[in-house]
Amino acid sequence: MTLSPLTPVDDVTGDVWTALRHRTQARIGLGRAGTALPTRHRLELQAAHAAARDAVHSPFAPDTVAAGLAGTPTVRVRSAAPDRLTYLQRPDLGRRLDAADRAHLPVGEWDVVFVVADGLSSRAVHDHAAAMVRATAAHLGDWRIAPVVLAEQARVALGDDVAAAMGATNVVVLVGERPGMSAADSLGAYLTHRPHPGTTTDADRNCLSNIRPPLGLSYETAAAKLAHLLRRATELGATGVALKDEEPTALELPAP
Structure-model confidence comparison of residues 245 and 36, the more confident one: 36
Domain, as residue range, for 103: 62-242
Residue 3 pLDDT exceeds 60: no
Structure-model confidence comparison of residues 126 and 251, the more confident one: 126
201 in a structural domain = yes
**11 Cβ contact partners less than 8 Å away, ≥ 6 residues apart:** none
Entry pTM? 0.79
Q: Find the range with the poorest average confidence among 51-65, 192-206, 240-254.
A: 240-254
148 in a structural domain = yes
35 in a structural domain = no
| pLDDT tens, residue by residue, 221-232 | 999 999 999 999
Strands 110-117 and 148-152: parallel
Give the 3-state secondary structure of 224-240: HHHHHHHHHHHHHCCCH
**What's the pLDDT at 15?**
66
- Assign residue 150 the CATH number of its domain: 3.40.50.11240
% the chain with pLDDT above 70: 82
255 in a structural domain = no
The closest alpha carbon to 191, from 138, 151, 242, belongs to: 242
In which band, very low, low, confident or very high, does the pLDDT at 14 lie, cut at 50, 70 and 90?
A: low
Q: How far apart are CA 168 and CA 108, in angstroms?
A: 7
DSSP class of residue 254 equals P
In which band, very low, low, confident or very high, does the pLDDT at 251 lie, cut at 50, 70 and 90?
A: very low
| pLDDT tens, residue by residue, 104-147 | 999 999 999 999 999 989 999 999 999 999 999 999 999 999 99
Q: Is 147 exposed, middle or buried (0-12, 13-18, 19+ CB in 10 A)?
A: middle
Query: What is the torsional sign of CA 209, 63, 50, 56?
Result: negative
| Cβ pair 98, 80 in contact under 8 A | yes
% the chain with pLDDT above 90: 60
| pLDDT tens, residue by residue, 165-211 | 999 999 999 999 876 666 778 999 999 999 988 776 778 899 999 99
92 in a structural domain = yes
Domains contained in the chain, number: 1
Q: What is the DSSP string of 173-199?
A: EEEEPPP-SS-S--EEEEEEES--TT-
**What's the pLDDT at 10?**
42
| Cβ pair 220, 208 in contact under 8 A | no
The crossing angle, in degrees rounded to 10, of helices 39-57 and 122-138 is 70
130 in a structural domain = yes
Strand partners, 119: none
| pLDDT tens, residue by residue, 79-106 | 999 999 999 999 999 999 999 999 999 9
207 in a structural domain = yes
Q: How far apart are CA 159 and CA 183, in angstroms?
A: 24
98 in a structural domain = yes
**What's the pLDDT at 200?**
60
